[in-house]
Amino acid sequence: MGHSFLGFLFYSNLLLEQIRLFWQPLTGLILGGLLVFSIGFLDDLYRLSPWPKLGVEIGASLLAAALGLQIQIAPDFLNLPFDLSWLSYPLTVLWLVGLTNAVNLADGVDGLAAGIATFAAVILFFMTFNTVHNVVALLSIALAGATIGFLRYNFHPATIFLGDSGSLFLGYFLGGLSIWASEKSTITFALLIPGIALGLPLADMAYAVLRRWNRGLPLKQADREHIHHKLLDMGFAQNHTVLILYGVNIVLVLLSALMLVTRNSLAAYVLLLLGLGLVAGSRLLGYFRFHRVVLTLKRRWHDLQQAKYLNFRTARLLRQFEGEPTLAGRWVQVTEIWQELGFRQASFTPEPSAAATLHWTNPDPAAAPPDADREQSLRLTLQGPRGRLGSLELTWRADGSPFPAGLDKILTVMVYEFGKPGADHYEKKDRTSNIERPTSNCGNVTQTKIPFGVGPSAKKLNQKMRK
């Protein structure tokens, strides 16, 4: 017993020496944890909006980073010729804020967040107990002991709950310990082991972000499509749901331990296995059909590029209109856009109707549908200096895009700028030119009503495009 007491005194003195040496990161971890706990406690009482919480989380992360608890990046990282050490602060904030919210999102069923924290704390202890980071080892095993004791009353049916104060604190504290534990590692693998151990809440958060982004929803909007909700919807009871997710977490912890024992030599195989598991899990839970996701991303990328191009063409069209005083000349300029967008026909019918109609037909045979019934058309009223100038009608294939991204800007220019002063209805040379009049054998055209917002006034639009 005397030997045990002497060993305790020796270890206590060694621990005090470690605290004296590493007081700055310890202070950053404690103060940041208190800030996150405090904002979580206020949220439990008053249901704050997400922005104050996010602001405090970022502030706590910056405080920890300023006191030395940060992801270290060497100036010659990846052997690049420029200094990347400035990335330390953004990566630290991203890791701490991300993990804080990942654990918070996992706190949707009794015992899940506390159990995840327990497994992560255990692997952090084994990462550090035989290293110079004795303080991290002590804090990790203390956190594991606290969460195990808490689980006694938090497992379903729970009598006590973490709340936002508890789950935010656990996520932040685990994030800070993982950074501290990986301080002397290379940046490539610095957070790989704790990242794998915490893979379940991180994957759930990634799914939530992608899901809401794909649906165009605000990231702060809650839903019932987290991993634990999916399992509950499959018919599993709360206890069984938590035990299934514990099993997944145990597999992740074992993979982390394998990485720790092999010194990351099996990293490629472990990451490949995790990737396959992620794909299989997402399909099993019905999150994504990857071919649909790829098609959606390709469509959005195409729409984004088309919208950018049409912004450029809108500005160019405004400049062309300023240099062309006649309607016929302006019509020739805008028909280039109709052809690029794949319209089949376009016609401008001026008022009074006695004036000649401007008509354009796409020379590309592919733009014409095999059946006239498969056409759509859009009719707009164009404004002149004295009111109504005439009407614009566009016709296109019904199996194409119903309304190309960015077209609204072009149509706004046509509505307000096509008949702007300087463009007389027709000069004499235009009246005698070969202007094609509308024919009566265009087939049956289906009139499709598409809502169109005219947007800003012509003056504001001009100023915006010139900028």
Residue 395 pairs with which residues in a beta bridge? 345, 377
Residue ranges of domains in the chain: 18-285, 296-466
> Which of the residue ranges 155-159, 249-253, 261-265, 398-402 would you say has the lowest mean pLDDT?
398-402
Residue 360 pairs with which residues in a beta bridge? 346
Query: For 284-301, how does the pLDDT look when each residue is reduced to its tens digit (9 = 90+)?
Result: 887 766 667 677 778 888
pLDDT at 13: 64
pLDDT at 437: 33
Q: What's the rounded Cα separation, in Å, for the pair 140 and 17?
A: 18
Mean pLDDT of the chain: 78
Q: Please state the φ and ψ torsions of residue 224, each to the nearest 5 degrees.
A: -115, 50
> Which of the residue ranges 108-122, 180-194, 425-439 would you say has the lowest mean pLDDT?
425-439
> Which of the residue ranges 33-37, 51-55, 422-426 would you say has the lowest mean pLDDT?
422-426
Provide the pLDDT confidence category of residue 422 given band limits of 50, 70 and 90.
low
Residue at 417: amino acid letter: E
Query: For 133-162, how does the pLDDT look when each residue is reduced to its tens digit (9 = 90+)?
Result: 778 888 999 999 999 999 999 988 889 999
pLDDT at 403: 66
Classify each residue of 197-207 as buried b or exposed e, where b means 16 or more C-beta atoms within 10 Å of its C-beta. bbbbbbbbbeb
Query: For 170-199, how does the pLDDT look when each residue is reduced to its tens digit (9 = 90+)?
Result: 999 999 999 988 765 555 556 788 888 888
Could you tell me how far CA 275 lies from the centroid of its own chain? 20
Query: For 360-408, how does the pLDDT look when each residue is reduced to its tens digit (9 = 90+)?
Result: 988 877 666 656 557 788 888 888 777 788 889 988 876 655 666 667 8
What burial class does residue 174 get, using C-beta atoms within 10 Å of its C-beta: 0-12 exposed, 13-18 middle, 19+ buried?
Answer: buried
Cβ-based neighbour number of residue 188 at 10 Å: 11
Return the higher-pLDDT residue of 286 and 37: 37
- Both tokens of residue 356? 């000649």
Residues 69/25, Cβ–Cβ less than 8 Å:
yes
Supply the pTM of this predicted model: 0.66
pLDDT(423) > 60: no
CA dihedral 440, 442, 445, 451 (to 10 degrees): -90
